[in-house]
Every structure is written in structure tokens, then in C-alpha cells.
Homo-oligomer: A and B are copies of this chain.
Amino acid sequence: MRRIITLTTDFGLFDPYVGIMKGVILGIAPEAVLVDITHDVPAQDVVAGALALEAVCEFFPAGTIHVAVVDPGVGSGRAAVAVETEFCYFVGPDNGLFTAALARALLSRAVRLTNPAYHRRPVSATFHGRDIFAPVAAHLAAGAAFETLGDPLTELVTLDLPRPVARADSLELHVVHVDRFGNLITDLTADSFILDFGRARLHIGGREIVGISRTYADAAQGQPVACFGSSGRLEIGVRDGSAAETLRAGTGTILLLRNEG
């Protein structure tokens, strides 16, 4: 069976770091199928990396191994970990990168990557992507048993992810990501609240959006529109335009959601 290994990093594609990780993986697991999720996570932005992983992992087949390296703490004492869920594997630093993705899993167990037999030697102080995470993922793809990767770990570092805050008369939402089209993706997921789509009112940047639509195409040209996007999150878009520009909003911008009286 050809195992899939996905890669999510903040390395960019200008530097050779991603190519090096692929070389290391293919040297150990020549049959592995490599898939780039993104290498454009903003440098050292663990929250953005966590959200990228959360967005993709449910769409990959069972057994997929997700390697993620957004690792401001490399060379310090942070642990290197692998996590197994009922569906897939994660390999990377123990800094909360997997918090969002794991919130969707029913079961999981984790190990600290302490077995040097699965590492490159010597392990550098600066590039664990190459020396630990890539070879561990490759050995896992090539058939190594999960529990041989290292010592059991009962608690992972968790990340404080943005989430809606209940206010007296409204729900405070937050933009967690702005996509290439200028759509604003918020921290409100479709399954977290019961919403009356027709009565909902969104306030952002001094403007009001009336109701939640089924799709961006329902809006008039140039007008902001709210809908639950393909990510399962409430998004604000502008048909044939950029909501980020129209509403001068970005990651961290606050939205207020109210029900009309």
C-alpha cells in the first residue's frame, strides 16, 4: 500500500528545506505519496498552521500521515511528537500545532519521539523537520509500529485558538484567516450554535450584513455576504470582490452576531 504523507510548514518554497525533507522521506519510504498542503504558513505562526491542518485532514484517506513543522521552539526543550487518531497520524513539534485537528478526533494516543533508531544522526539543533519529523513519518509509512516511535505521552501542549465569545446581546466572532479571494473566515463553525439564518445580523467595520446566505452567488455584486463556507465556518465574502478590502478587515478582526428582535 502506498501511504500518503502530507507536509505543512512555514518554510516557503524558495529555500531548499522542503526539498530536503522530501529527499529524506523518499530515501526511507520510496513508495510514499507526498502531498504538499502549504508551505506558506506565516513564519512561526502556529495558530495559522493549526487551522490549515484542521481544514484538510478530514479529506484525506484513512492512514494518512500529516507532518507539520511550524516550530519556533526548535532547539529548545519542546518535545517532538507523533499522534495517532482513529483515522490518521500527525508528526511534528509538541507546540499545539495539532490542537484544532485533534478536537475533531474521538480517540488519540501520543508518543514523544525518543527512539533514535528512527532519526537521522546526528540530530541538528535547528532542523528537526529533516532530522526527526521526516524520517519518523517515513518509517511510519514504511511500516514501523506506532508505539515503537518513543515513550507514551499523556498530555499534549494545547493551543489557545480563537473562539466565539458570548456577550450580553451578541456573539463576538473573530476572523481567523483571510483567503486568497479576500474572504474572511471566522471562528464560528456550523455545528456550534443554532442560528436563525434569516434573523441573523452581522456587524463588521461599521457595516451590517443582513441574514446568512446559502452562497456568495446569492449576493449583489460588490456587496458583503455571510455564508457557511466549504470549511464549515462562517465566512464573509464579497461577490466579485474582496471582503478584506471592502471591510478593511484581517486576521483578528472582530464581528458581532445578533438576532434581529
Given contacts A19-B38, A180-B14, contact A126 B216 (CB under 8 A): yes
Interface residues of A, dominant DSSP? loop
Q: In the bound complex, do residue B59 and residue A38 qualify as a contact, i.e. CB atoms below 8 Å apart?
A: no
Given contacts A19-B36, A19-B38, contact A61 B27 (CB under 8 A): yes
Q: In the bound complex, do residue B126 and residue A16 qualify as a contact, i.e. CB atoms below 8 Å apart?
A: no
Residues of B within 8 A of A176 (CB): none
Q: In the bound complex, do residue A16 and residue B72 qualify as a contact, i.e. CB atoms below 8 Å apart?
A: no
Q: Does A251 contact B (CB under 8 A)?
A: no
Q: Does A201 contact B (CB under 8 A)?
A: no
Q: Does A64 contact B (CB under 8 A)?
A: yes
Pick from B1, B12, B124: contact of A180, CB below 8 A: B12
Residues of B within 8 A of A131 (CB): 230
Nearest residue in B to A34 (C-beta to C-beta)?
B35
Residues of B within 8 A of A35 (CB): 19, 22-23, 26, 34
Nearest residue in B to A181 (C-beta to C-beta)?
B43
Report the minimal beta-carbon distance from A175 to chain B, rounded to whole angstroms.
14
Residues of B within 8 A of A38 (CB): 13-16, 19
Q: In the bound complex, do residue A14 and residue B40 qualify as a contact, i.e. CB atoms below 8 Å apart?
A: yes
Q: In the bound complex, do residue B60 and residue A26 qualify as a contact, i.e. CB atoms below 8 Å apart?
A: yes
Contact with B along A180-217 (1 / 0, CB 8 A): 11000000000000000000000000000000001111
Q: In the assembly, what is the distance between CA of A64 and CA of B20, in Å? A: 13
Question: Which residues from chain A sit less than 8 Å from chain B, CB to CB?
Answer: 1-2, 4, 6, 10-17, 19-20, 22-24, 26-27, 30-31, 33-40, 43-44, 52, 55-56, 59-61, 64, 72-76, 124-127, 130-131, 177, 179-181, 214-218, 227, 229-230, 240
